[in-house]
Structure 1
Amino acid sequence: MADIFNEVDEEVRREKLKALWDRYSLVIIAVAVLIVAGIGGWRAYEYYVGQKASVAGAAFEDAVTLSEQGKHAEAEKAFAKVAGEAPKGYAVLARFRAAAELAAANPGKPEEAVKAYGAIAADGSLGPLWQDLAAVRAGLLLVDSAPYADLRSRLEPITAAGRPYRHTARELLALSAFRANDVAETRRYIDMISADAETPPGSRQRVEVLSALIAGEGKAAADGKKG
């Protein structure tokens, strides 16, 4: 008797499954096709991205080779081409390298390179890390020639606590203020550098030299008045 009941139960289950299949077979097949197509599409996309990155990497290396050979104008054009065509990672690096090549190709005339770095610094899609780095790179080119007010307008926001390139920005501004004979501003940035526990040792040593120069000039001025 138990075998008969089991056979009946099995027959009922088969009938239910057949009814479900008859009712939903098209839906099940469609879902399966979509899953397979989705996996295939994703694999194709991964392959496409990989190929594009490979091409960009080769073009970037070719541009680096031109730079190492001292062909800065050609290297700048090659990096600019990569920046316009490559995936985001390579594109950002290529924009920085193109700006650097402009500086190398025109020593003593940093205007074009500064403009290129300025465009990167103004590009909000890159995020503050890249933007701050571009502003500091422009500052490095300008510190010997630009007025202190110009440099301050570019770098002052980067000196805030927590900004990754604040140490370099503060040091550049201290040096620029010193060259402008603005002792108060020079000391303000020196104090910021000295008070920051995360200031690198190299920066501390350089601003200590700057502090000594200020003290020496102050003493010389005082002695001159006495004389």
Structure 2
Amino acid sequence: MSELFNEVDEDLRREQLKKIWEKYSLLIILVAILIVGGVGGWRAYSYFEAKKAAEAGAAFDKASELSEQNKPAEAEAAFTKLAAEAPSGYRTMARLRAAGEAAKRDVAAAVKLYDEVIADNTVGASEKDLARVRAGALLVETTPYDTLLSKLEPATSATSTYRHSARELLALAAWKANNAGETRKWVDLISNDGETPSSIRTRAEALQALLPPAAKS
């Protein structure tokens, strides 16, 4: 008797499955196609992204080689091309390197390129601070202290990766402007930061020794 009931149940299940298939077969097939297509599309996307990254890495290395071979014009052109075409991971690095190559021929042009990086909201804070410091290094000999301060001060915060270099540049700029108070302020920040590199700390101590007695710590 139980076998008979089992056969009836099996027939009912087959009948239900048949009805479901007849009603939803196109939808089931479509969903299956979408799943397979989606997996294939993601794999294709991942492959092409990896390929683009590899190509960008090779192009970046080639541009770096041009720089090492003392071919600044060619290196700048290569980095500029990479900045326009590369995936986002390489784009900002290429822009910074292009500005560095431009500095060898035209400081103003290089500073303009650094300023464009600083003003770009898609660029990370660390890369912006690096652009500030590199621009500041180009300007420290010729730019008034207050102007340099407005450019570099955002990079001097306690969380900035490049705060040590930014503070040193501002200390030097203040000293060149005969502003002993500001010089002392930056020297003190350098001295009191436990993470200040020893080379920067040594130079700050030497600068402090040049200050008039009233301005010394």
Q: TM-score scaled to structure 2, two decimals? A: 0.92
Q: Distance in 1 between matches of 2:69 and 2:200?
A: 32
Q: Distance in 2 between matches of 1:75 and 1:162?
A: 33
Q: Distance in 2 between matches of 1:113 and 1:185?
A: 27
Q: Distance in 2 between matches of 1:208 and 1:93?
A: 33
Deviations 1:61-95 (A, max 9, x none): 22122111111011101110111111111211111
Deviations 1:120-175 (A, max 9, x none): 11111112111111011111111222221221110112212222221211111011
Q: Distance in 1 between matches of 2:76 and 2:13?
A: 73
Asked whether the equivalents of residues 100 and 113 of structure 1 are also in contact (C-alpha less than 8 Å), the reply is: yes
Alignment correspondent of 2:116? 119
Runs of 4+ in structure 1 deviating by more than 3 angstroms, as ranges, are none
Secondary structure (helix, strand or coil) at the match of 1:156 reads helix
Letter aligned with residue 77 of structure 2: K
Letter aligned with residue 194 of structure 1: S
Alignment correspondent of 1:195? 192
Per mean C-alpha deviation after superposition, the further-off stretch among 73-82 and 204-213 is 204-213
Asked whether the equivalents of residues 129 and 154 of structure 2 are also in contact (C-alpha less than 8 Å), the reply is: no
How many aligned positions are there? Answer: 214
Alignment correspondent of 1:155? 152
Alignment correspondent of 2:176? 179
1:36 positional shift: 0.9
1:44 positional shift: 1.7
Secondary structure (helix, strand or coil) at the match of 1:96 reads helix
Q: Distance in 2 between matches of 1:65 and 1:197?
A: 36
Asked whether the equivalents of residues 83 and 94 of structure 1 are also in contact (C-alpha less than 8 Å), the reply is: yes
Q: TM-score scaled to structure 1, two decimals? A: 0.88
Q: Distance in 2 between matches of 1:205 and 1:65?
A: 33
Alignment correspondent of 2:20? 20
Structure 2 stretches lacking a partner, 5+ long: none
The root-mean-square deviation of aligned C-alpha atoms, in Å, is: 1.6
Q: Distance in 2 between matches of 1:154 and 1:114?
A: 11
Asked whether the equivalents of residues 171 and 187 of structure 2 are also in contact (C-alpha less than 8 Å), the reply is: yes
Structure 1 stretches lacking a partner, 5+ long: 220-227
Is 1:67 matched with 2:62?
no
Secondary structure (helix, strand or coil) at the match of 2:158 reads coil
Asked whether the equivalents of residues 124 and 131 of structure 1 are also in contact (C-alpha less than 8 Å), the reply is: no
Q: Distance in 1 between matches of 2:115 and 2:14?
A: 72
Secondary structure (helix, strand or coil) at the match of 1:124 reads coil
Q: Distance in 2 between matches of 1:67 and 1:29?
A: 57
